Structure 1
């Protein structure tokens, strides 16, 4: 059974005669009659009562009409969805995200997808930079948005957010009311730093700046996420560092972020994807959207 036979049957059913259906289908009557007979033989049922002057569908024919209409509609929907998937207007994108990407990039991505009428579902995966990189290489992820810089020939990387690094001080700190903080004035504080197992990240910049300022910081905590460290700073457990964008998160449980004086420390989010194999059309659309909005 093929689509053409289904369309011929539906036309005969809806027109009530072979001749009218043949006109609608732009074909002659004899081949259409033969096609109907072959369809009934193939199904092993009688679809029409031919005893009168007008074809009348049998109960089986009524049921087959409902199923045929549903099948034709599904075929049409499938073709449209396949075309949209081929063009990147439909599909799924799997993205490995740092916390900042989930907070400040992905909401904009979803807004753009909705405004563009694209039916793309975004699956966000969070985790260690090394884990996300492995997933990317194994094609479990399409894209990564991370602060780590990956200098590998098989990876393509673009900076999508560049911003200054700020410091969060514990409540009651002697410098808490300052407009700016010198890194050298934090030499006696406990530091809460980001772990950078791959590439380079925030902690690498902070450690180099401390060395340049003439001291080695007392690092008491190495973590993978910024928000927990900001909460720890607010509880008086040490000083934490965060990109300026985290200042948008106004909450009583988060400490204010102060500029660093004399240390031009900047951090950025990187969009990373593999060079050795092409992205799916949907993932390519999301990548292009991110680059247009943030690149």
Structure 2
């Protein structure tokens, strides 16, 4: 049984005669009658009562009509979904995200998805950069958005959200009310820094700038996430460094971020994907949305 036979049966059922159905199907009557007979033989049932002047569906024919209509509708839906998947309008995308990407990139991506009408489900996983890049190579992830600057020949990297690095001070810090803070003003503070297990990250910039300023930082904490360090700074446990975008969270109980004077430190998020592997159409759509909205 194929789709053409289903359509022919439905046409005969709905038109009530072979001749009317043949006209609707743009075919002649004899081949349509033969097709119906073959369909009944294949199914081993009688679909129409032919004793009167008009074809009347049997109880079996009534049931088959319902099933045939459902099958044809499912086939049409499947074709549409496959076309959409081929065009990147439907599917699932797995993205490894730094916390900043989850906070400041993905909400915008989801807004764009909703406004564009794309039927794409996004699966986000946060984690350490090295682990996420390994999953990217294994094709467990489609894209990675990370903070560390990591260069590898098999990976394509584009910068998004280039922004200045700023400092979070405890509420009772002597420089807390200043518009700008020099690294020299922090020489007696406890530093809360990001560890950079892979590539160059925020701590590398801070330590290099401290060296240039003649400051030997007292690092008391190495962490992988910015938010815990900002909370520690708010509790007076040290000074922390964060991208300017985290200043949006000051109203949520996090400390105000203060620009650094003198040291022109900038950081950025990077979107990474395999260079030599073809992205799925849906993953390509998401990557393009990210680049269009956030790339400088």
- Normalised to the residue count of structure 2, the TM-score between the two structures is 0.97
Match of 2:179 in 1: 179
Match of 1:65 in 2: 65
CA drift at 1:216:
2.4
CA drift at 1:31:
1.0
Verify: 1:271 aligned to 2:275, yes or no: no
CA drift at 1:217:
1.3
Match of 1:141 in 2: 141
1:6 alignment partner, SS class: helix
Deviation track 1:18-69 (CA, whole Å, cap 9, x = no partner) reads 1111111111111111111111111111111111111111111111111110
CA drift at 1:235:
0.9
Match of 2:191 in 1: 191
2:176 alignment partner, SS class: coil
Verify: 1:89 aligned to 2:89, yes or no: yes
Return closer, same or farther for 1:252/1:43 CA change in 2, 3 Å cut-off.
closer
Runs of 4 or more above 6 Å deviation: none
Distance (whole Å) between structure 2 residues aligned to residue 209 and residue 121 of structure 1: 42
Return closer, same or farther for 1:123/1:252 CA change in 2, 3 Å cut-off.
closer
CA drift at 1:252:
4.9
Moved more, 260-269 or 107-116: 107-116
Match of 2:109 in 1: 109
Distance (whole Å) between structure 1 residues aligned to residue 88 and residue 253 of structure 2: 41
Unaligned segments of structure 2, at least 5 residues:
none
Deviation track 1:213-271 (CA, whole Å, cap 9, x = no partner) reads 11321111111111111011111111111100111123252111001111111000111
2:172 alignment partner, SS class: coil
Match of 1:286 in 2: 286
Return closer, same or farther for 1:18/1:252 CA change in 2, 3 Å cut-off.
closer
CA drift at 1:75:
0.5
2:51 alignment partner, SS class: coil
Return closer, same or farther for 1:28/1:69 CA change in 2, 3 Å cut-off.
same
2:127 alignment partner, SS class: coil
Match of 1:39 in 2: 39
Deviation track 1:157-195 (CA, whole Å, cap 9, x = no partner) reads 111111000100112111111111111111111111111
2:251 alignment partner, SS class: coil
- Normalised to the residue count of structure 1, the TM-score between the two structures is 0.98
CA RMSD of aligned residues (A): 1.0
Unaligned segments of structure 1, at least 5 residues:
none
Distance (whole Å) between structure 1 residues aligned to residue 58 and residue 250 of structure 2: 70
Whether the 8 Å contact between 2:183 and 2:215 is mirrored in structure 1 is: no
Match of 1:76 in 2: 76
Match of 1:5 in 2: 5
Match of 1:168 in 2: 168
Match of 2:28 in 1: 28
